[in-house]
């Protein structure tokens, strides 16, 4: 099938030829292609193979009304909005870091049922001091580009949420720092100032994230096509597949294969390029009131 393409607009700012390796890689072009491919899925799959072989992200989207009118973005928290797995940080301080990290990694690869793995990890944390949580919250490393992305989307009228298999204590900390509207995560159980090794209420796993995405979209009066979901692990796949734009962010191979698009070479503000936002149109990091790397 013959496809025709329009001139290629540059979304990123113009680059000097005298760039460091770190800055030279930040370049984004938008290809507008018209025609009738035999299969968009096959086209996406072939371009995905190219992105695996080269340090480049390639996203294929239908250029319709909804691409330009997304209004809700929902993030996974651990290893997406922040650059760590909080439960692993708790485990390190509790002296069970190796055991918990092994279970976490297996769960993120999809080798273990999330709820089963979560309960196993929580039992290992029984007795951890509640007062230590604040110290961990204050040092959470926010992912590069997250404040800039959220600030710019807020300007455009977006609602922002965190759907996490982690903990509400830390998600609410990020909520106050980044201006997040919705938070859904797991509520830690405490007794006498120590973790009980249990959580209150329903565990937020992959299916629960998808249910929450639908509920928030309905509350906001939005079509699912107007929703962006961003995540990295196997328990994010249900919401990535359900959202109009599901973004696998520096994700595990299994997640990249099933998401609509992926970002593996940029920070979270790379999502702006997927929406057709040019650098010159967006707030810079300085204008976006970026918090320090360590919160």
pLDDT digit string (tens) for 198-209? 999 999 999 999
- SS3 at position 8: coil
CB atoms within 10 A of CB 181: 15
CB-CB neighbours of 173 under 10 Å: 20
For residue 57, give both structure tokens. Answer: 């992200």
Cβ–Cβ < 8 Å for 100, 88: yes
Q: Three-state SS for 30? A: coil
* Residue among 281, 290, 286, 288 at smallest CA distance from 13: 281
**pLDDT the model gives residue 10:** 57
Give the H/E segment covering residue 160.
strand 159-167
Chain centroid offset of residue 22 CA: 22
Choosing from 57, 64, 78, 279, the catalytic residue is 78
Nearest to 268 by CA among 143, 82, 84, 160: 143
CA distances from 46 to 59, 184, 274, 275 (A): 11, 36, 19, 22
* Measured distance CA(226)–CA(197) in Å, rounded: 38
Secondary structure of residue 168 in the 3-state scheme: helix
CA–CA distance, 272 with 282 (Å, rounded to integer): 8
Which CB contacts under 8 angstroms, 24+ apart, belong to 13-16? 13/279, 13/280
Q: Exactly one of 57, 63, 76, 269 is catalytic; name it.
A: 76
pLDDT tens per residue across span 129-170? 999 999 999 999 999 999 999 999 999 999 999 999 999 999
pLDDT of residue 289: 62
For the question of residue 78 being annotated catalytic, the response is yes
| Closest of 106, 220, 116 to residue 161, by C-alpha | 220
pLDDT band, residue 226 (cuts 50/70/90): very high
Q: Which whole number is the average pLDDT over 54-61?
A: 80
Residue among 90, 91, 117 at smallest CA distance from 103: 117
Question: Alpha-carbon distance 225 to 243, whole Å?
Answer: 6
Give 9's pLDDT tier (boundaries 50, 70, 90).
low
What's the predicted TM-score (pTM) here? 0.86
Q: What's the Cα-to-Cα distance from 4 to each of 1, 31, 148, 166, 188, rounded to whole Å?
A: 10, 10, 34, 45, 54
Does position 229 have pLDDT exceeding 90, yes or no?
yes
**Could you give the CA distance from residue 216 to residue 222 in angstroms, rounded to a whole number?**
9
Q: Is residue 76 among the annotated active site residues?
A: yes
Q: Which residues pair with 249 in a beta bridge?
A: 263
């Amino acid at each position: 099938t013959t496809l025709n393409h329009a001139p290629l607009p540059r979304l990123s700012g113009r680059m000097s030829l005298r760039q460091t390796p770190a800055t030279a890689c930040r370049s984004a072009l938008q290809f507008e292609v018209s025609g009738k491919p035999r299969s968009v899925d096959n086209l996406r799959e072939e371009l995905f193979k190219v992105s695996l072989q080269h340090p480049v992200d390639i996203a294929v989207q239908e250029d319709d009304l909804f691409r330009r009118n997304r209004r809700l973005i929902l993030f996974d928290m651990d290893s997406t909005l922040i650059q760590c797995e909080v439960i692993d940080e708790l485990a390190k301080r509790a002296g069970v870091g190796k055991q918990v990290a092994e279970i976490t990694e297996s769960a993120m690869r999809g080798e273990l049922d999330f709820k089963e793995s979560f309960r196993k990890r929580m039992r290992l944390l029984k007795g951890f001091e509640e007062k230590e949580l604040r110290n961990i919250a204050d040092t959470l490393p926010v992912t590069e580009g997250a404040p800039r992305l959220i600030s710019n989307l807020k300007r455009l009228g977006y609602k922002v949420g965190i759907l996490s298999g982690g903990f509400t204590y830390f998600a609410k900390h990020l909520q106050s720092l980044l201006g997040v509207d919705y938070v859904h995560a797991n509520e830690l159980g405490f007794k006498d100032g120590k973790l009980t090794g249990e959580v209150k209420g329903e565990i937020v796993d992959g299916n629960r994230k998808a249910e929450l995405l639908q509920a928030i979209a309905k509350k906001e009066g939005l079509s699912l096509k107007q929703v962006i979901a961003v995540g990295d692990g196997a328990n994010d796949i249900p919401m990535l597949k359900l959202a109009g734009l599901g973004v696998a962010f520096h994700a595990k191979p299994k997640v990249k294969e099933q998401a609509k698009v992926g970002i593996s070479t940029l920070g979270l503000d790379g999502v702006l390029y997927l929406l057709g936002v040019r650098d010159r149109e967006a707030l810079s990091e300085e204008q976006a009131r970026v918090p320090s790397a360590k919160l």
